[in-house]
Structure 1
């Protein structure tokens, strides 16, 4: 099975994990094994209403069922509302094989910080760290304990700090990170303000020890403000050549994805912010202006893939394997 292929799974059961957080247990309709995955992985879920969303796997790797947890975002774009209000046990959804942009690297010591629903990719990581025997610490932050999912599933063998804002106010991140050892690998998932604060505090760290999973785009990933003759996003117009030889013009201020859709081409996409990886597209030639929050420095330097929902061309033409 290709990682790009969608296949059906059944919502076997659903559970209320916290205020506004619903878990789904997914299994193959015929009971066949689901593809293997590792901590930090997520799946693309195509909902029956046509919306495509990404959810982190938070079950045990090797479990015959996949589990995801969905926060009901009242100001969202409709995906979480559909899951909470329309899905029921027995519903069918389509998924793709797991992908991992947040993989757990071997380390002498681990520090995990999870904010709210950010516990979902972190929970399997903590279990894996506990199983490895490496020292680890988890700091789990939330508005209140009622809003924090999976509190009863946190493993033993390390140090776990549960911090609810309504009980203790703002958590002292600077003290926590200042006390981290030089060999500690840091894994962080949560809302933008949390990630921004951690990113600032760990600026002096070796970047290979700091790992983020984002729910929203990193403002620092965007290119500088527009110069003379450029569009509002700082980008000039350019052409994209597709695998069938078609040429699509991408005007200043328009993304590649938007230009393709205007031309009647509809690649898979979801977040449109460069954070989910759904629209990742191989690049045959051309210089890329990377603006995503996913690719590593080495991956950007290789110049053979891009997120077409945000990234652009530094020259006049990109040739895409699309």
Structure 2
């Protein structure tokens, strides 16, 4: 048996029992040969595709001196410029109460009444004593030939004598004091605004000095925030403020109205500002981001992206004579968007 017959016999075996492994190897060899031939027949498929070269576009601008807006950042709270706490001036039971959070009130509105029988009785007694002394005073003047309505023309010594004998001055003083104490049983709105922090409960006994709530004038709002001791040199009265309440995307404008000259134990001082406009959604106690703006004139101002680092130094690229050349720069001022620079005198 020659070699070809032996190979055929190994691949396919006998007719009754073919060699399966041999058949598989044979088919694989044929496929490999066909693939090599196909690849050789298409040399163009091996050619590399040339990609376009990317072009970097650089935007330039003329550098001229302008005003740089130096910024100082802080966090604070929205506050009512006109806010008054409502306290009881006398002890008593809240017999009448007309107070609720969010309630709009006008100056002079009666909000609550305290029932204090002792003060009321004292007032009635003082009133009676005053009326009696007034009758005695008039009787003494009439006995001297003068009328009460003509005290301006009555001799001063006669008027003084009548007041002493009738106990008029003492009873008048006691009556006025009792009247004042009685009036203090009424809680009256001292300003117009919106009620808040209401803690009063009807029919509860309240000692003198208890805070029942507060009135906030939401038509005049401001901000209160703190700055560090080393930042005080950048803060001054009437300085512009940019206020961004954290709960909104709105930006509000304002200006500084008060600077506390005293630092606390943490080296912070309190600053207050007034908003130029008061939106209806603004509320007492809102958290806000506050930016203090201080104009610095005659500065070379560039975007932050125009300054890059080279060899550990700040560099700006300047276009001169058809070429971009770098120039070492010194940063004088910085805010969130831009820088005020000058040529580095050390390079």
Same fold (TM over 0.5): no
Q: Which is richer in strand?
A: 2
The two structures have a TM-score, normalised by structure 1, of 0.18
Larger RCO, structures 1/2 (Cα 8 Å, 6+ apart):
2
TM-score using structure 2 length? 0.18
Bigger share in helix = 2
